[in-house]
Structure 1
Amino acid sequence: MSTGFDSRGNPVTGFTDSVATTPATGIRGSLDLFLTRIRGGDLGSLPVIAGLVVIWVAFQTLNPAFLSSRNLVDLTMQCAAIGTITLGVVLVLLVGQIDLSVGSISGLAAAVLAVTFVQWQWNPVAAILAAVAVGCLAGLLYGYLFTRFGVPSFVITLAGLLGFQGLQLWVLGDTGSINLPYDSWLVFFAQQLYLPAWASYAVVVLGVAGYAWSLTTRARRRAAADLESQSTGAILLRSALLLTVLGLAVWYLNLSRGVGVMFLFFLVLVVAVNHALTRTRWGRAVYAVGGSAEAARRAGIRVDRIYYSAFAMCTTLAAVGGILAAARLAAANQSSGAGDTNLNAIAAAVIGGASLFGGRGTAFAALLGVVVIQSISSGLTLLSLDSSVRFMITGVVLVLAVIVDSVSRRSRTASGRG
């Protein structure tokens, strides 16, 4: 037994030739930590996953074709465009703001793409960049109006909803509809491009390997700082479970057309945004501003810049979603981005777990939320029910998601006080 000092200069007494002073969270420890978080009100994605299971079981019972491989492939492809828009909404919700114009911006981006690509004969890459740039500029404008004049984001983006919808109609002109060439690589990408079976399995293996490497790197970093870290066994178990789930999912999708490249593109965006939120200084600043803008400001964070970036990334992703939607439809028209696009994107973000109060949520909220929204839509379509039923069910699910968010927030507050 010996007495020494840790990295902070605090005295440490322990056995020098026993276990390391840095505790490791094994499989049992990880389970205990998980249960502690649940009891503390931090439910994470559990309510969403439970709700999704209920939805899938209900629709499968009513129509056995719902969970068929063919229908699930269609469902994943339908998730890509609206899911990309939802991903942007999650970012702006994290800083405690809202964007009501994502539907209009996606429609405007689709219109810009169609006009520049088809009518002006631009290179498709240049046309895509122009459409994305329009979305980014809209977000920068929102950031300027919000930080410079203090206009509430609700008002700014509501004005943007109306203004950009009008601009979309002006860009499309008298025809009101422009078809994209079916032989273009953009339409092929959105409609017909699927991964070969071997490539889909390779993507799963690489993805899980990256996940395991990320967990291992984080565990080593925490251990070096004398913080509690996950054991190698816990990391291997989590990686094995993820590999099994993803492997089975890909195998089932490959019974039909397989994994769509457009859906894979959406998943890559989700992973990239998640990395930015959890592994960068910018991501930590986003959560800090969403938790308390004043506290973040006093901590030295450039709050105005965070607002600028959140609005700009939200509208940029909305533009990318509009491009994907136009490519899948092979057209841009007056209804692009209209209808329930705006409401579904916001509802999916909240249903997926992004808090309306700011400071809580992940990029994967976009993935979970949009799967719930599209599952409801797909199931009701198979049952040949009217769209009015879909609106009502989606509304009920949205209210339940907000209730769960509010209850879990109160539980965490009460636990913190206790």
Structure 2
Amino acid sequence: MNASTLTRKPYTPKEAVDRLRHGDLGAWPVVGGLIAIAVVFGSLNEHFLSPENLTNLALQMAATGTISLGIIMVLLLGEIDLSAGSVSGLCAVVMAILSVRHGWNPVLAIVVALAAGALIGLLHGIMFTRLRMPSFVVTLAGLIGWQGLLLYLLGEGGIVNLPFDGFVAKLSDTWLPPWLAWVIIVLLVAVSGGSSLLTRRLRLAAELPVPPAWWTATKIGGLAVVLVAVLLVMSADRGVPLLLVIFGTLVVAFDLVLRHTVFGRWMYAVGGNVEAARRAGIGVTRIRVLAFVLSSTLAAFGGILSASRLSAVNQGSGGSDILLMAIAAAVIGGTSLFGGRGRTYAALLGILVIQSITNGMFLLSVDSSVRYMVTAAVLALAVAIDSLARRGSAT
């Protein structure tokens, strides 16, 4: 198995330096890229780093970032899900039709839409594991088929408008009061710090190596500084949007699941070496099916968040470049296309890079063709770094 195995240990500063020397750069290229993007676009347009624009950036990345989070679940196994965009649009349409045309309670309509996404993922997983169909073919068929079902459900009208004052639309137009935002930051730092300290205590009890206490404290303090900075910037505008909180909560929750549960360790094990995982007694088929279920369910939720921002669903829901941006975000954020390596924070970092590039070029009135080429170059660079990292870790 590769770096992410059944038992993952925290890295000490010395081990982190050794990993860098062997080509495993982790999230540092992404962080460096974000700094470069901020410097370049901030110098070219003073509005780029304004609180208003940064708040809009947070709103823009939530939906696609959620879809990207689901794709990471499949990428960790070394597979791919090309149907995520179509699934997001279809489930958003299901939610809109039930709540608007049939008068269902919006919350119940959302639950049904998420269940539909889970069933689609289950179907994909069964086709992949039981029929031995390549995930590329299964999800490519899904991309086409679910898009067709979306068009069929919408009918001739082709659009369903959501009430501007309804529950779904309010998801993207709700801002946390300052006191609640501070409480959430305190809780996030406490959960992160508690998780790190608990892991350290358990490893000490098992007489396993642990990083120095100052290293753990530095990481917790760095997280606190970043979160406070984000809060202060957004407080200068409208405040912290609920969409960002929802997306951030999903990222943190799935990160904890992948790092601190048996299911998460099995995910990394299957992605690292399928045969070794099977011989270790891991239910490979079950893990693969669950990965596709999670991917489609999160795609469905991302589609609902997108519908909330637009207050409507239409024939283009889940289409355009949403799928490509979601996959690119996962890879740019550091998730390996070869499986076995990556964290959910890749969705956050990757979508932040892509949306920052998109937003910056929009402010500069750059043609969309140039944006596509720049995004392609960034994606190619991320894959090249991943390939070099694998080559370095193998030597």
What CA distance in whole angstroms lies between the structure 1 residues aligned with 2:164 and 2:14?
54
Deviation at 1:45, TM superposition (A): 0.4
Partner of 1:17: none
What CA distance in whole angstroms lies between the structure 1 residues aligned with 2:187 and 2:126?
41
Partner of 2:300: 319
What CA distance in whole angstroms lies between the structure 2 residues aligned with 1:233 and 1:387?
46
Deviation at 1:62, TM superposition (A): 1.1
What CA distance in whole angstroms lies between the structure 1 residues aligned with 2:376 and 2:22?
28
Q: What whole-Å deviation, never above 9, does each CA across 1:204-227 have from its counterpart, x for those lacking one?
A: 111111111111100010001100
Partner of 2:215: 234
What CA distance in whole angstroms lies between the structure 2 residues aligned with 1:322 and 1:249?
25
AA paired with 2:147? Answer: Q
Deviation at 1:377, TM superposition (A): 0.8
Specify the SS of the correspondent of 1:97: coil
AA paired with 2:230? Answer: A
Partner of 1:244: 225
The one of 126, 144, 148 equivalent to 2:108 is 126
What CA distance in whole angstroms lies between the structure 2 residues aligned with 1:112 and 1:357?
34
What CA distance in whole angstroms lies between the structure 2 residues aligned with 1:273 and 1:236?
23
Indicate the larger mover: 198-207 or 161-170: 198-207
Q: Which runs of 5+ in 2 are unaligned?
A: 1-9
Q: What whole-Å deviation, never above 9, does each CA across 1:146-203 have from its counterpart, x for those lacking one?
A: 111110000000000000000000111110000000111221121x211122221221
The one of 330, 352, 355 equivalent to 1:374 is 355
The one of 89, 97, 100 equivalent to 2:79 is 97
Partner of 1:272: 253
Indicate the larger mover: 269-278 or 237-246: 237-246
Q: What whole-Å deviation, never above 9, does each CA across 1:82-136 have from its counterpart, x for those lacking one?
A: 0000000011000110000110000101110110000010111111011111111
Deviation at 1:232, TM superposition (A): 3.5
Partner of 1:307: 288
Identity score, percent: 50
Q: Which has the higher contact order (CA 8 A, sep 6+)?
A: 2
AA paired with 1:66? Answer: F
> Does the CA contact (< 8 Å) of 2:62 and 2:305 recur in 1?
yes
Structure 1 position 406 matched with structure 2 position 350:
no
Specify the SS of the correspondent of 2:160: strand
The one of 48, 54, 58 equivalent to 2:40 is 58
What CA distance in whole angstroms lies between the structure 1 residues aligned with 2:94 and 2:167?
18
> Does the CA contact (< 8 Å) of 2:48 and 2:54 recur in 1?
yes
The one of 189, 196, 204 equivalent to 1:223 is 204
Specify the SS of the correspondent of 1:366: helix
> How many residue pairs are counted as aligned between the two chains?
386
What CA distance in whole angstroms lies between the structure 2 residues aligned with 1:237 and 1:163?
49
Partner of 1:79: 61
What CA distance in whole angstroms lies between the structure 1 residues aligned with 2:191 and 2:84?
32
The one of 169, 172, 197 equivalent to 2:154 is 172
> Does the CA contact (< 8 Å) of 1:216 and 1:232 recur in 2?
no
What CA distance in whole angstroms lies between the structure 2 residues aligned with 1:356 and 1:254?
37
Deviation at 1:257, TM superposition (A): 0.9
The one of 368, 388, 395 equivalent to 1:387 is 368
What CA distance in whole angstroms lies between the structure 1 residues aligned with 2:40 and 2:283?
48
Aligned ranges for residues 92-171 of structure 1 at < 5 Å?
92-171=74-153
Aligned ranges for residues 315-354 of structure 1 at < 5 Å?
315-354=296-335
* TM-score (structure 1 length as normaliser): 0.91
What CA distance in whole angstroms lies between the structure 1 residues aligned with 2:149 and 2:187?
43
- The structure having more radius of gyration, on CA atoms, is 1
Partner of 1:48: 30
**TM-align CA RMSD:** 1.2
Q: What whole-Å deviation, never above 9, does each CA across 1:238-259 have from its counterpart, x for those lacking one?
A: 2222212211221111111111
Q: Which runs of 5+ in 1 are unaligned?
A: 1-24
Deviation at 1:375, TM superposition (A): 0.4
The one of 226, 240, 245 equivalent to 1:259 is 240
Structure 1 position 34 matched with structure 2 position 29:
no
Structure 1 position 291 matched with structure 2 position 272:
yes
What CA distance in whole angstroms lies between the structure 1 residues aligned with 2:16 and 2:135?
36
* TM-score (structure 2 length as normaliser): 0.96
Deviation at 1:333, TM superposition (A): 0.3
> Does the CA contact (< 8 Å) of 1:187 and 1:327 recur in 2?
yes
AA paired with 1:294? Answer: E
What CA distance in whole angstroms lies between the structure 1 residues aligned with 2:284 and 2:65?
27
